[in-house]
Structure 1
């Protein structure tokens, strides 16, 4: 694990000021390794004392040693594309989000989750806000394969659904931060029924991850860019696409999906 991985892992436990430094390190490591402590503190708008505390939390005695670790970690990293045309910048963001998620993929866990979906009599999918849209998308895909899937659209309905779940049901929870209190409260109720919980989240030590039996990790969008209004759910969408593709290897699911395609086309032709 290199220093950038360490910073990403410890990010949730950092103070608000320390997170400013962390984002500079994660987003622009090639630039940070050339800075002195005063330059970094000004760029991050924090004190030099905060930078010193930050590097010690990362396991380094001082900023000079931290930069040596950063230089080693960034030996193969190219410069950023801040001055490139905007379409190129957005493409670079997409590539970093997908590549970051791809690096976190555990094929064994993916296989286990696909099997859980196949065997569960009912699949519940939780998510709020942007994650809620993806929960609806995953639910629709599973339904088109003939899988009983439900995606409650609000926290109240999630809580109610959790209270009537059965041991053999499966709960899939989408939350990039893993810190949504409303979602986590519903998950805690569901756990009382001893069913399996799968989380799609960015942080291994989040409250949601700690309640999960299986975790599918995604890249956190702010680690790539926290200044642009770009879809933060790309990693989640990528995981959903992978799971959907895996499930469609099943001939029964594939046939059911094709049946829904035909039904839609027939309706449009009327």
Structure 2
């Protein structure tokens, strides 16, 4: 059955994601999200959509975060980076030139750099303070049917849940205030 195979692929991705999850690393990244005054998330294509999702979700609970999905803006943004910044690059392949070169520039400026990718490569250590590996759909039967965003969004949900736990009542109040602020603009 076609649908059963798709669900099996999702289950396999869930299992791989769980196996790759490093709780100590999630705690470190969560602490960075709390301690760094400015967070920038770089992504292109479907990874750019995840960057936008991350911005919208975390901004609603008080994080000073910006999603950058344009390669020119990534380059211009590097001018304002310093040790007070966390720069997160998202690239499924780990080889997106715009993301890699922007992380290198951010690292040179003193920003803390994190690459979220499905590719493990020791060369990332030269310019990334952290590499967060998420599950890959490579070699899965329905790898081209399942959205490449799915495993990245799983990791994003884990980070969000951990970040939310720190001063949860304040963050939930901010989220509720955001919903109330948007209420007049929502279509009824």
Q: Which residue among 133, 136, 151 is the counterpart of 2:52?
A: 136
- Alpha-carbon shift at residue 211 of structure 1 (Å): 2.4
Q: 1:179 to 1:207 in 2, by over 3 A?
A: farther
Does the CA-based 8 Å contact 2:26-2:159 persist in structure 1? yes
Q: Does 1:184 align with 2:104?
A: no
**Secondary structure of 2:5's partner?**
helix
C-alpha root-mean-square deviation of aligned residues, in Å?
A: 1.9
Q: Which runs of 5+ in 1 are unaligned?
A: 1-84
Match of 1:225 among 130, 133, 141: 141
Deviation at 1:258, TM superposition (A): 1.9
Shift of 1:266: 4.9
In structure 1, the partner of 2:84 is 168
Q: Of 32, 36, 59, which aligns to 1:116?
A: 32
The reply on whether 1:126 has 2:36 as its aligned counterpart is no
1:214 aligns to 2:130 (yes or no): yes
Unaligned runs of 5+ residues in structure 2 are none
CA shift at 1:229, angstroms?
Answer: 2.6
The one-character-per-residue Cα deviations of 1:165-192 (angstroms, maximum 9, x if unpaired) are 1211101111111111121111111111
Note if 1:205 corresponds to 2:121.
yes
Match of 2:153 among 222, 237, 245: 237
2:163 alignment counterpart: 247
Structure number with the higher strand fraction is: 2
The number of aligned residues is: 186
SS at match of 1:150: strand
Offset of 1:225 from its aligned partner?
3.3
Q: Residue 115 of structure 2: SS of its match in structure 1?
A: strand
Distance, in Å, in 2 between the alignment partners of 1:257 and 1:209 is: 36
State the Cα distance separating 1:242 from its structure 2 match.
0.8
Segments of 4+ moved more than 3 angstroms = 206-210, 225-228, 265-270
Contact kept, 8 Å, 2:164 with 2:171, in 1: the verdict is yes
Report the 3-state secondary structure (helix = DSSP H, G, I; strand = E; otherwise coil) of the residue aligned with 1:160: helix
TM-score, structure 1 normalization: 0.64
C-alpha separation in 2, matches of 1:154 and 1:207: 25
Match of 1:257 among 163, 167, 175: 175
Q: 2 CA distance for matches of 1:143 and 1:187?
A: 22
How far apart, CA to CA, are the structure 2 residues paired with 1:101 and 1:197? 22
Q: Secondary structure at the match of 2:68?
A: coil
Cα displacement (A) at 1:206: 6.2
Q: Which has the higher contact order (CA 8 A, sep 6+)?
A: 2
Partner of 1:7: none
Q: Distance in 1 between matches of 2:72 and 2:104?
A: 14
